[in-house]
Structure 1
Amino acid sequence: MKKLSPSLVAVKRITSAVPRSNFADRDLDKLARLILDAGGLINPIIVRRTSMDAYEIVDGNLEYYAAARAREIEPLKGETIGAFILEPENEALLLEQLEILRKTAITENAGESETIKEQSITEASVEIQTLEASSSLEQRVTNIEARLEIQIHELKAEHAREKELLAERIQEIENLIAQQLPLLIEAQLANRINEFKAELASKKSTLVDTVQEVEQVTSQPMSLLEALNTQDKSQLKANFEYTKLVNDKIIQRILDEKRDVKPFVSFANVVERIQGLGDKTMIKIIDYWQNTHKL
């Protein structure tokens, strides 16, 4: 016969013929938590195999239901329970041992009952004294709770006041920003306008200097520019018909430049805006104009 030793059996594979209602839920819950804290039962149950992976309780119904409750609380910790499994070769011996243990437990319980009765009387007296002390303690606890509640109300009221003051401060800042923002925007706009005026004045001065330089190069540039800015198609064609420098396409491009809105300001400007009219051609046109339009 092999040496007797407990095995770990899955709780969900065990059944019991004794109803769970035979045991107080309070006792089962307390024992279940002790099983979880200790990591197992100190007293393995005894089971009989009913199939390859199923068992029934022979002894230890309380322990079994406590283990089942432990599995409900924490499934991962309460998966298994320590148990002695009755096998054909040892079942008779184990059952005989179990019967003797049960008889001994019954005798011991009978003797303990008398002792328990005597202890109950003493405990009842102690309990009365304890209740009196407990009543005083409960009163002290009640007083402490009342003081705590008052302090909590005071803290809440203080928090509400601080929140209100913060909201007022935020509103003051928002009002100040609303008053100062238009002034700041106006100052920024004024600075930007002055910068823009200074920039325009600088560009205007540069343009005047450029026009003066062009006027110094030739005595008749304005007359040619005036013609390019004001004459219609037939007039331009008549003025440049014999030069063979300005064809109909270039004349049309000159007319398309919206000269009444943006007139040509220099010969360089004419070259820049009229496609097909280069610097050399422009010089030849100027020479032609000077020769044909002398005062």
Structure 2
Amino acid sequence: MKKLFPSLVAVKRITSAVPRSNFAEPDLEKLARLILESGGLINPIIVRRNGMDAYEIVDGDFEYYAAARAKEIEPFKGETIGAFILEEENEEILLEQLKILRKTAITENLVENQETGFFHENTSSQPADSIKNPVCLVEVPNLCENETPQESSSLEQRLTNIEAQFASQINELKAEYAREQKVLAQSIQELENRILQQVPLLIEAQLANKINELKLDSASEKQTLLEGVQEVKNVTSQPMSLLEALNSLDKNQLSANLKDAGLKPPIIQIILKERDVQPFVSFANVVERTKGLTDKTMIKIIDKWQKYS
């Protein structure tokens, strides 16, 4: 048979048939803190495989619950516990050894309690399937005859343990709630600070976009205006026809141009007078309504008018 060495077993892979309320919560808390401070448990528990990477307690329920409590306090420090794993080749011998050890421990406790005048059954490390009635292993007068007070006392102790466990869990929940509330408040404050830092940048970016849009609109309107001005210039820069000039050109300018074209002042005065009466509709109409103006002269005027265009 190979030598017996304890193994490290994940606490979350272990189950116990003994209720946690069987043990005083202050004792579990104290041992859990000591496990965390010392870095481990000096008394390995005994387990049996009951599935793939799963174990059940054979002996050491109290130690197991203390290790579970240590994992609750510090999840990354209390992940494993030292344990002897029962195998087919050594189970019978190890159980026999355990039975003798536990029998001796119980007997010593009973003798000590008799000497002090008190009796207390210590089941903190007793296996669930071990000795059923350990108090009858030695002769203790009237101890096994009346078990009602012991059962009542045990029930009261379990209720006390359950209350202590609930109180501990409630305190932990309150502490966790306070921590989460603090973290949430810090997160909200950080978010508010970031928003306050970002608001000026967002406003500046929006203003820059608006300015760019206004610049684009202004440039577009300016281009449209320039195109309109250019169209006006193009219209006004087109040469005025002679017929249009006879009807609308400034009288002084028209008189000067007609005189330069070879017309005599009396004929020019007739043209100015006739256009005030009614606009000319054609060159023939001009000749017809202007006394002294011939077709030949009108043709010459038309040819010479090109230089004023």
User: Structure 2 length as normaliser, TM-score?
Assistant: 0.38
Where relative contact order (Cα < 8 A, 6+ residues apart) is larger, the structure is 2
Return the structure number with greater helix share. 1
